[in-house]
Amino acid sequence: MTVSFESPADAKQRLARAGYLASDAVATTAYLAATLGKPLLVEGPAGVGKTALSQAVAAATDAEMIRLQCYEGVDEARALYEWNHAKQLLRITAGRDESWDDARTDIFSEEFLLPRPLLQAIRRDGPTVLLIDEVDKADVEIEGLLLEVLGDFQVTVPELGTVTATQRPFVVLTSNATRELSEALRRRCLFLHVDFPEADLEADIVRLKVPNLDQSLADSIVRVVNALRAMPLRKSPSVAETIDWARTLMALGADILDDEVVKDTLGVILKHRDDLDKATAKLDLDVVLGHAD
């Protein structure tokens, strides 16, 4: 059994049951990635649900999720595999009387192999979602490794031979576009740009994640967040921060947004002092919420 959907509509319904409200474009692209067996490159601002999409696909299809978190300096050993050197050294020490040829055959065996996310995903027999998160934070050199692995879905371990996937994992690569990815990597993937959702969809997402939230308060929260995103801020509020703000207001027992409650809780959605100052000076709740004459 592989990760699959019957249609874009089926993908949308199953992702919703997994707690992810997908747009038609997202559902269609997820369906196509599963059907064509192509890696899916998801790009967009931080906090719009790129990582959550892979988690929802795994939940919706009863697949195992394996995650490679990228960062500057991540190398082949962290991404693919490495040998358990401490255990190998103990084995060599314990077998001092044997020849090197005998010891080498033993220490370069499965018992001493430490598979990392890419190899783990390729070796799995069951349905698997492989998330390569924030690939734009990795060094350019890691893209060469990804091209090889994602091109043939196989890995060569010189001491053991070539490991080929019996079924391809559903691969999601996420990027915040902090650097440009190579055309070769993009060419191997389906591309999906995820931006901040439309207001109605974001309100639905907030109410899904905060079930007891009143509809009118959800709408007001989203209107204010969208007004903030329209400002030239260092960091616009993410969807995750919209949800955090809704939970904050629920915890405070606030049933409407007014100047005082917004001022007291802006730090939940804005994380820079100059953004807070700018929002405090420019945000007009009466206009945003339609209360002005």
C-beta of residue 127 within 8 angstroms of C-beta of residue 2: yes
pLDDT score for 97:
65
C-beta of residue 102 within 8 angstroms of C-beta of residue 95: yes
- How many angstroms separate the CA atoms of 11 and 175, rounded? 22
Segment-wise mean pLDDT, segments of 10 residues, the chain, 293 residues: 89 96 95 95 92 96 96 90 87 69 70 92 93 93 86 85 89 92 93 94 95 94 96 94 96 92 95 94 89 57
- Lookup result for tokens 């919209």: 242
- How many angstroms separate the CA atoms of 191 and 215, rounded? 34
pTM of the predicted protein model: 0.86
Residue whose C-alpha is closest to residue 133's, from 49, 237, 218: 49
- How many angstroms separate the CA atoms of 141 and 194, rounded? 26
Q: What is the dihedral sign for C-alpha 178, 132, 244, 16? A: positive
Amino acid (1-letter code) at residue 96:
R
End-to-end CA, the chain: 60
pLDDT score for 76:
87
pLDDT score for 143:
87
Q: For residue 124, give the 3-state DSSP assignment.
A: coil
Q: For residue 130, give the 3-state DSSP assignment.
A: strand
Amino acid (1-letter code) at residue 288:
V
pLDDT score for 66:
97
